[in-house]
């Protein structure tokens, strides 16, 4: 069959098009495009079906697993696809690893090394127990996230644009350094013992609950199987759609109750607003996928992220 590959402006990306077997899949087409262009490896390519002029709806994105014939009109042997370069890509694991490695490494620097001398604070620095527990708590959190990235999460997308590495690292590395700076500061004033124990104790329970939520999400996809979405259930998922975000938010609340810094609370507010936006989108997607029509189950009534408010 003949495949014509055009850009969004209608210009031919591969001069003369490509000849492929009738049984070829979208993945085969992507490989053929890569062979001809050299630069555009498969995960950089986004292939869609052309839209009629003036159409407002979103174009159909070609799934790499499907046969090209599935996208042809009737018995036609010709197919036109629209090519978009997604830019350089990195794997999701690389992206997550880079974002979490920064806070994991930078935080202990402020605890162990005499960095405050560079900021004009000379003399002996007294380390309070809360600062030591905060270090353990922080490192445990980011170590757990890295382990989950490699051994728990089953991502639906193989790659993410390289530019996200710079954006996400700026976010995590900057907040990580600022929080570490203030919590380990020589002039830091610790909270009372009871508040510290309540904060860290509550936070730790939430971290363990968050880990369990990730195990439950993992069980929704089989290894190498369909990367689609299922209705999460069990434990806190019976009450709230994004229980993993709920527990993530509460574990940061626990850290902040114990350490009490303005930067820590700002991070909590920013992280909560980011996760709330994502949770609203995930909740909408599950309600749309599981609409109770044509034999599909109906998505149960649940809070989105922070019961009893949202």
Ligand X SMILES: NC(=O)c1ccc[n+]([C@@H]2O[C@H](COP(=O)([O-])OP(=O)(O)OC[C@H]3O[C@@H](n4cnc5c(N)ncnc54)[C@H](OP(=O)(O)O)[C@@H]3O)[C@@H](O)[C@H]2O)c1
Report the first-to-last Cα separation within the chain, whole angstroms: 51
x/- letters, 147..186, toward ligand X (CB under 6 A): ------xxxxx-----------------------------
For the beta carbon of residue 238, count every other beta carbon within 10 angstroms.
11
Q: Does 244 bind ligand X (CB under 6 A)?
A: yes
Near ligand X by CB under 6 A, which window of 31-39, 53-61, 113-121, 229-237? 229-237
Q: Cβ-closest residue to ligand X?
A: 156
Minimum CB separation of residue 286 from ligand X in Å reads 6
User: What character string, x for contact with ligand X (CB under 6 A) and - otherwise, covers 111-150?
Assistant: ----------------------------------------
For residue 240, give every residue at least 6 positions away whose Cβ sits within 8 Å of its Cβ, in sequence order, or none: 246, 302, 303, 304, 305, 306, 307
Nearer to ligand X, 156 or 238 (CB): 156
CB of 71 to ligand X, least distance (A): 23
Considering only 109, 274, 281, 310, the residue that binds ligand X (CB under 6 A) is 274
- For 251, the 3-state DSSP assignment is helix
Q: How far is the CB of 294 from ligand X (least distance, A)?
A: 20
Residue 232 binding ligand X, by CB under 6 A: yes
Q: Is 40 in the site for ligand X (CB under 6 A)?
A: no
Strands 89-91 and 78-85: unpaired
- Count of beta carbons in the 10 Å neighbourhood of residue 295: 5
Phi, psi (deg, nearest 5) at residue 45 = -95, 135
Query: Segment 189-228, which members bind ligand X (CB under 6 A)?
Result: 210, 217, 220-221
Pairing of β 89-91 and β 2-6: unpaired
Q: Is 230 in the site for ligand X (CB under 6 A)?
A: yes
Residue 287 binding ligand X, by CB under 6 A: no
CB atoms within 10 A of CB 162: 14
Region binding ligand X by CB under 6 A among candidate stretches 32-40, 69-77, 117-125, 271-279: 271-279
Neighbours of 164 (CB within 10 A): 16
Residue closer to ligand X by CB (options 45, 210) is 210
Contact 76, 4 (CB under 8 A): no
Which pairing describes strands 18-19 and 2-6: parallel, antiparallel, or unpaired?
antiparallel
User: Between residue 247 and residue 266, which ones bind ligand X under the rule CB under 6 A?
Assistant: 248
Q: Which residue has the tokens 């992220």?
A: 305
Alpha-carbon gap, residue 240 to 283, rounded angstroms? 9
Residues that bind ligand X (CB under 6 A): 153-157, 210, 217, 220-221, 229-230, 232, 244-245, 248, 271, 274-275
């Amino acid at each position: 069959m003949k495949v014509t590959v055009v850009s969004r402006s209608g210009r031919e990306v591969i001069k003369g098009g490509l000849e492929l077997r009738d049984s070829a899949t979208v993945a085969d087409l992507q490989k053929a495009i890569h062979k001809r262009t050299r630069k555009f490896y498969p995960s950089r390519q986004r292939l869609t079906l052309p839209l009629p002029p003036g159409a407002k709806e979103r174009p159909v994105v070609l799934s790499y697993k499907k046969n090209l014939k599935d996208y042809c009109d009737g018995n036609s042997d010709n197919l036109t696809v629209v090519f978009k370069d997604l830019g350089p890509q990195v794997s999701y694991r690389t992206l997550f690893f880079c974002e979490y490695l920064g806070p994991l490494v930078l935080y202990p620097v402020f605890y162990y090394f005499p960095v405050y001398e560079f900021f004009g604070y000379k003399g002996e620095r007294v380390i309070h127990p809360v600062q030591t527990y905060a270090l353990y708590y922080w490192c445990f959190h980011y170590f757990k996230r890295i382990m989950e990235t490699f051994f728990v999460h089953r991502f639906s997308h193989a790659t993410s644009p390289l530019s996200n590495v710079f954006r996400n690292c700026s976010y995590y590395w900057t907040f990580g350094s600022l929080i570490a700076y203030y919590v380990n500061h020589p002039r830091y004033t610790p909270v009372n013992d009871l508040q510290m124990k309540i904060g860290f104790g509550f936070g730790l329970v939430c971290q363990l609950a968050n880990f369990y939520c990730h195990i439950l999400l993992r069980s929704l996809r089989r290894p190498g199987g369909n990367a689609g979405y299922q209705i999460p259930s069990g434990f806190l998922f019976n009450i709230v759609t994004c229980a993993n975000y709920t527990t993530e938010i509460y574990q940061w609340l626990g850290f902040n109750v114990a350490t009490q810094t303005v930067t820590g609370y700002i991070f909590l507010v920013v992280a909560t607003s980011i996760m709330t936006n994502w949770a609203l989108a995930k909740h909408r997607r599950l309600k749309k996928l599981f609409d109770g029509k044509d034999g599909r189950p109906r998505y149960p009534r649940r809070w989105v992220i922070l019961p009893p408010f949202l």
